[in-house]
Amino acid sequence: MSNALYGPVPNVAEQAGYQDPPPRMGFFTDTSVCIGCKACEVACKEWNLVPDDGGPLTGMSYDNTGALGANTWRHVAFIEQQVPARQAVDLGMPGIGAPGAQTAAEPGQDADIRWLMASDVCKHCTHAACLDVCPTGALFRTEFGTVVVQEDICNGCGYCVVACPYGVIDQRKDDGRVFKCTLCYDRIGDGLEPACAKACPTDSIQYGELDVLRARADARLAELRADGEAGARLYGNDPDDGVGGTGAFFLLLDEPEVYGLPPDPVVTTRNLPQIWQRTAMAAGALVVLGVASFLGRRS
């Protein structure tokens, strides 16, 4: 699998030991056409029997879930921006042309209100730190290249929670086990779309072979920029980034930080071999010192 702009898509399933695996599958989320309907959130909960998170008033506009978590595997963000009218023109804010970035001038104000809407999800990283730190094998790489939690094996240690560079993984408060998006492993194994992509009415969430999605994303980005959307960018599709690219990537209309995404994510376990080596050396040095001290006392 390859992409003209970014080179080959790593076959992580082969690296995980699968013989002749199927193509790597994933999500491309085009936020420029997201209308904030939350159909993806509802479909995810219904199919995966994800518990209700209470729907509290968060004070964050129409965002009643707030962030990804153990009981929110898809999170639709509503980001309201007040942009001066002249700056809005300079940004090429599409307004009418793109539901994902709707603008409306307030009466008597020299400003535009822009709504950015985006459905976030687990990134299913190429270099997944959560896999590196899980002591029980509860987290595993599937033949489709996705990352899944086996909740019956999870011991609730929480190592993966702090290892995730995106803050995706979370523990349920009742028993401490972790839960996250599985990319509907049970559905895609039968040739079906994940529930969120199936329910999305605007095709903002697109599911398929990762190399095909990346080519489609490149074309969509070029289209938006040709239409004057200067702030459009792709996020998570570059295999040379700090996590080797992700299996769920996004077309954004502003900086990643605006959407609550880290601008330069890195695999948090990249220095783990050196850390263990230094720990072993330190432990060895302590043993030597202890033996020397013991022998010194005897003499």
Q: Are residues 94 and 235 in the same domain?
A: yes
Q: Are residues 252 and 273 in the same domain?
A: no
Q: Are residues 157 and 289 in the same domain?
A: no
Q: Are residues 162 and 251 in the same domain?
A: yes
Q: Are residues 74 and 140 in the same domain?
A: yes
Q: Are residues 274 and 264 in the same domain?
A: no
pTM of the model: 0.79
pLDDT, position 66? 82
The number of distinct structural domains making up the chain is: 2
Structure-block tokens of residue 285? 């040095």
pLDDT, position 113? 82
For residue 239, the domain's CATH number is 3.30.70.20
Q: Are residues 209 and 296 in the same domain?
A: no
Q: Are residues 66 and 174 in the same domain?
A: yes
Within the chain, which residues score under 50 in pLDDT? 1-7, 85-99, 102-106, 108, 274-276, 278-279
pLDDT, position 5? 38
Q: Are residues 19 and 110 in the same domain?
A: yes
pLDDT, position 186? 96
Which residues span the domain enclosing 273? 269-299
pLDDT, position 97? 38
Distance (Å) of CA 208 to CA 78, 132, 216, 224, 228? 26, 26, 11, 22, 28
pLDDT, position 65? 83
pLDDT, position 52? 83
Q: Are residues 278 and 215 in the same domain?
A: no
pLDDT, position 99? 46
Q: Are residues 192 and 59 in the same domain?
A: yes
